[in-house]
Chain A
Amino acid sequence: EIVLTQSPGTLSLSPGERATLSCRASQSVISSHLTWYQQKPGQSPRLLIYGASTRATGTPDRFSGSGSGTDFTLTISRLEPEDFAVYYCQQYGASSFTFGQGTKLEIK
């Protein structure tokens, strides 16, 4: 099973700043199978980015995804107040889906 490790665990930033979230896999992941979700308290996860870099319908263009192999990144160019949430990466491989443990993006 492929293990995804997200860093940092918590990221404290101010609105307007740039956020860079990392997702590292224990073995190579097919880029088309790497996904990012956003989850706010009391809500279900929301699809943000799929195929490592394709924004889902409704995802603002300040969100971008990149990476390949074992290293993937979610970047938020200028943080808006509604962006403070927990972000999860997810992959499909070896007949199983796995998620990272999440990065909490909090207001500094």
Chain B
Amino acid sequence: QVQLVQSGADVRKPGASVKVSCKASGYTFTSYLIHWVRQAPGQGLEWVGRINPSDGITHYRQRFQGRVTMTRDTSTSTVFMELSSLRPEDTAVYHCAREIEGTCFFDYWGQGTLVTVSS
């Protein structure tokens, strides 16, 4: 069965960086895009960006340009999202989610990773 399993919760200080992982299983890793969507406590969903595991090409939401980096490791079927220059308002649950390229919706989601930014 399709699974996206994310790394555990993390606490970082303002100005630091965080790297969250998303390990895929149950399907051909390079055949689907992986997106990152975040959700601040008690708030709605916000798209951060996506990576094509097949070629590593990324596309980030403009407001995260320069602060976010998405990479992949095809040997372990894992995608990574690194967010730098963290601010308290980056505190959120970060989800990875899968897209069949071109369908523009997310059919499977990871369980989410809580990133807390606090001094």
Whether a CB of chain B sits under 8 angstroms from the CB of A45 is yes
Bound-state CA distance A56–B110 (Å) is 18
Q: Which chain B residues border A101 with CB–CB below 8 Å?
A: 44
Whether the pair B47, A97 counts as a contact (CB closer than 8 A) is yes
Query: Which residues in chain A, 4-55, are within 8 Å of chain B measured between CB atoms?
Result: 32-33, 35, 37, 44-47, 50
A-side residues, CB < 8 A to B, are 32-33, 35, 37, 44-47, 50, 56, 88, 90-92, 95-102
Whether a CB of chain A sits under 8 angstroms from the CB of B109 is yes
Query: Which residues in chain B, 92-110, are within 8 Å of chain A measured between CB atoms?
Result: 95, 97, 103-107, 109-110
Bound-state CA distance A100–B44 (Å) is 8
Minimal beta-carbon separation of B34 from chain A (angstroms): 13
Across the two chains, which residue of chain B brings its CB closest to A96? B61
Whether the pair B95, A44 counts as a contact (CB closer than 8 A) is yes
- Which of B44, B59, B112 is packed against the most chain A CB atoms within 10 Å? B44
Given contacts A97-B47, A99-B45, A99-B47, contact A47 B105 (CB under 8 A): yes
B-side residues, CB < 8 A to A, are 35, 37, 44-47, 59, 61-62, 95, 97, 103-107, 109-112
A-B contact pairs, 22 of them (CB 8 A): A33-B104, A35-B104, A35-B105, A44-B95, A44-B111, A45-B37, A45-B97, A45-B106, A46-B109, A47-B106, A50-B105, A90-B45, A90-B105, A91-B104, A95-B59, A96-B47, A96-B61, A97-B104, A99-B37, A100-B44, A102-B44, A102-B45
Across the two chains, which residue of chain A brings its CB closest to B50? A97
Given contacts A90-B45, A97-B47, contact A44 B112 (CB under 8 A): yes
Q: Which chain A residues border B47 with CB–CB below 8 Å?
A: 96-99
Whether the pair B44, A97 counts as a contact (CB closer than 8 A) is no
Bound-state CA distance A56–B47 (Å) is 21
Bound-state CA distance A33–B47 (Å) is 15
Q: Which chain A residues border B95 with CB–CB below 8 Å?
A: 44-45
